[in-house]
Amino acid sequence: MASGGLVRLWNEWAMQIMVIVSFLLQILLLALGGTRRHSSSSVVRLTLWLCYLMADSTAIYSLGHLSVAAGSGKHQLVAFWAPFLLLHLGGPDNITAFSLEDNKLWLRHLQTLVLQVLGAAYVVYKYMVGGGTWLLLASISIFVAGLVKYGERIWALRCGNISNIRIRPNNGQSDPEAGRDDAGPLLLQNMSDQDILVQAHSHFDVCVGIFNNAPQARQHGPTNGNAYRQPQVIQYKFAEMVLSLLYDILYTKASVLLTWHGICIHFIPPLGTATALLLFQINIMAPREIAYDRVDVIISYVLLVGAMVLDIISLCRIVLSCWTFFFLNSRPGRGWWWLLQVVSSLRQLVQCETSKRLWKGSIGQHDLFHLCAHHREGIRGRLAMKMGFQDSWNKMHFSETFLPTGFLNVEDLKEIVLGWLDWYSQRHLDYNYRDSYILQTLKNCTEQTDPDMSQIEMEERILVWHIATTVYIWKTKAEDEDKLVQKMTEAANVLSNYMMFLLVVKPDMLPGFTTHNPYKAACNFMDNLWSTNPVMVSASTSWNPCQIIKGWLFQHEGPNGSSIPEREKLLQMLVSEYTHQPTKRVEILDEFSERGQETVYKGLKLAEQMEMVEDDEFATRHDTLDLIVSMWVGLMWHVGEHISRDSHAKELSNGGEFITILWLLARYRDHMLFGTIPPHPRPPSSSDSD
């Protein structure tokens, strides 16, 4: 009985439900579309992904259903909703593509546009022609608005390909240098966020050239070499805002607003919606033979008023956006200056988007020892294994974000990294040379033979240095260290865990093809070693359903909790088994574990070399830590330079990555200092070793 009632309810009210759901999805997309710029929350991303997919499928399904069985008589207004579905397919301005691949499918969306326009035109022709002049005109107004809005989205998708962004968005100016301030250095002390954003707009063409890997002539005089001596926080904000502008081009309709005709076309949908509301009101007040269904009338008003409200919100965002501000700022003439002051005052009044364009400082962390030492055979781990999601479970459950401590925060980390980035970028050192230089420095302080790192693939190289960094910090850390040493210790640990996070969770952010075989082999070996621990701590096997669900969804065991006793025991076991015993081997269960053993042994051997650096009379623990940090910075620079530009661009929709900011900043500084953007770092010369 209940199922039969639901079927009858659906048969009678299916279209009413679908159009309301479609409208609600538009509201959710408008509210959540811009959060990806500065948030990497998986909950927000999942919600937005579902809304993005459901919005298109719901509108397409509803429009197809209308073309087959639209209403008539008292339900004639059901056919009036067909053009609104075109409007919904156009989507809000702050999200056109969910991922970079969506931009490459713009031709598919164009085909969908043709089919859906024909479907909506058929519904309007079949059911609206005899429904009264006013209702027909209202339908045509919404139809035109929907056609233009959907066309805008396809235009934005086509322009959203990195390869298509060839010319700086200068709003149709013939002079690409218009509006650019060449006087003085690029970034100044105490510059406001608004001023930094204007500079980011002015130099956006350089960012586009970097992402297209295209050499460009320097646009500024030599005085801009002073950018190297400007406050680091200003430089980071500049890079963050440039990437935020690129996000707008790739994932929103910002590219549509870069020309006069684009701006004019953008006013058609709100005008069409307002006209349709007026015509619909006249039609409602006109006498007719058959009265409309009251629910249908209410839904029609909701769709009309709701579309107007969404358009008004969209227009307000456009008027107060930084794109409009920069457009007016680049216009000559007093009339434009007056309008610029009005927009600037309104932006200050409502405290506009400037702060939302800054990166939120999310630096992923993954500790190999924490993963291997933690007991993974609890109820949640076993359930993930049974379902075939063990790797995904380990990535999610044992990875976290760096949390500031009493000695190190994100700003401190930026300052440390940028200091070494200056040293590297000004010398244009080749990565293998930098790696060999660091290893040679270690070798000069010890009689040990260093591992031949030049023959190691990137994935194993990260593993070896991660193991060496972790073991060295664990063996040499003392409670009476001064604050500077503790800061460098935490910086080395954070950078090490961050590169492991990219290796494990985001392998697309590494050059080449990442197989994860060295990582899995190392995990397998340490699992074998850990299983020999007679005092291994067992995990709780509580079957409390509430605790299981809570733990599955919210509880993480990331490196921020790495002070667990199990991790300390694993490190102690590993060091005691191998230190000063080059031939020592534990019982190997398979050949895969033996490969992991070799990788771990290389890391332990490198950690011993790090310790011996401190035996030199001129070296201190701070010097060794500084050397380790410099290696990780060089590695990040190398990785950022050699991964695809699409990999950098894809992460902009996930809140952005620290390595992308560093890479863009280094490449931009190369441009400002040397005048062109070289496709690859220069090979080292003899002068580089001085």
Residue 222 has pLDDT above 80, yes or no: no
Mean pLDDT for all residues in the chain: 78
Distance CA 65, CA 67 (A): 6
Tell me which long-range contacts 203-207 makes (C-beta under 8 A, separation of at least 24): 203/242, 203/668, 204/168, 204/169, 204/242, 204/245, 204/246, 205/167, 205/168, 205/170, 205/176, 206/668, 206/671, 206/677, 207/242, 207/243, 207/245, 207/246, 207/664, 207/668
Of the pLDDT bands very low, low, confident and very high (cuts 50, 70, 90), residue 318 is confident
DSSP for residue 142: H
Residue with the larger pLDDT of the pair 85 and 676: 85
Note whether 247 and 34 are within 8 A (CB). Answer: no
Instruction: Report the predicted TM-score, pTM, of the whole model to 2 decimal places.
Output: 0.85
| Mean pLDDT value across residues 23-42 | 88
Residue 208 has pLDDT above 70, yes or no: yes
Residue with the larger pLDDT of the pair 197 and 391: 197
Residues 6+ away with beta carbon under 8 Å from 66: 15, 78, 79, 81, 82, 85, 119, 123
Per residue in 495-517, pLDDT tens?
999 999 999 999 999 988 778 88
Residue 14 has pLDDT above 50, yes or no: yes
